[in-house]
Amino acid sequence: MKPTRDLVFLRRLACRPSFEHRSLSRLAWERGWHFDDRWPAGPKQSAYVRWMTGSSVVYLISNWPTGALLTCADGDEAAELLELLRMLDVYTLDELVELLDAEQRPEPRMQLLFRVAFAATPWGCLAGAAPDPRVVERLVAAGADRERNVRYGAIVGTSVLGWPELDPLLVRSRDGDADPELRALSERILTNLQDARR
């Protein structure tokens, strides 16, 4: 699985700016995880490091285009691995929602929208549960914001969550955003998400 393409299927946590890579390397060593792969950043490409443990995988991803750092788990033991990863310097969703509500500047709001989306449970891991209504509400509101970068944050956040409940945000952007790049981006994301859900 390439995490750069399949984020809607990975359990993940958003790392704080103070996160240190070596803390995850140390955890991997202590737990006996096997270093498996590294993908360097390139033009329009995310970078990642991957460890294997049994039938599961742990990633540290520097996501393009958001610049956000996140740690992810996939496989049979993903839920247990995520609990271990929570011991690292990562945000809780509650913290991020609170930070987003308090932030008024467009650029920091965009970055917080990315992180809120990364900290919420993606479509591929919901297993019949409903999406978090706090996240839906905030992304929908941001998708109608007057600031272009805030709308961009909402659109990209929607892409990494994959929740069908957010499709109307993408449709509205595709059909009516003032920025042609955001219209085209929304169209691509809708198509990709429809393919992923098949």
Instruction: Record the pTM.
Output: 0.88
Burial label, 176 (beta-carbon count in 10 A; 0-12, 13-18, 19+)? exposed
Nearest-angstrom CA–CA distance, 30 and 28: 6
The domain defined by 93-196 folds into: Leucine-rich Repeat Variant (1.25.10)
* Helices assigned H by DSSP within the chain: 21-31, 78-85, 93-102, 106-119, 133-143, 148-161, 167-176, 180-196
Domain 7-85 has CATH 2.115.10: no
Residues 69-80 pLDDT 10s:
999 999 889 889
pLDDT digits (tens, 9 = 90+) for 137-165: 999 999 999 999 999 999 999 998 999 99
Name the token pair of 33. Answer: 């995880």
Domain ranges of the chain: 7-85, 93-196
Look at residue 41 in the predicted model and tell me its pLDDT.
66
Terminal-residue alpha carbon distance, the chain: 17
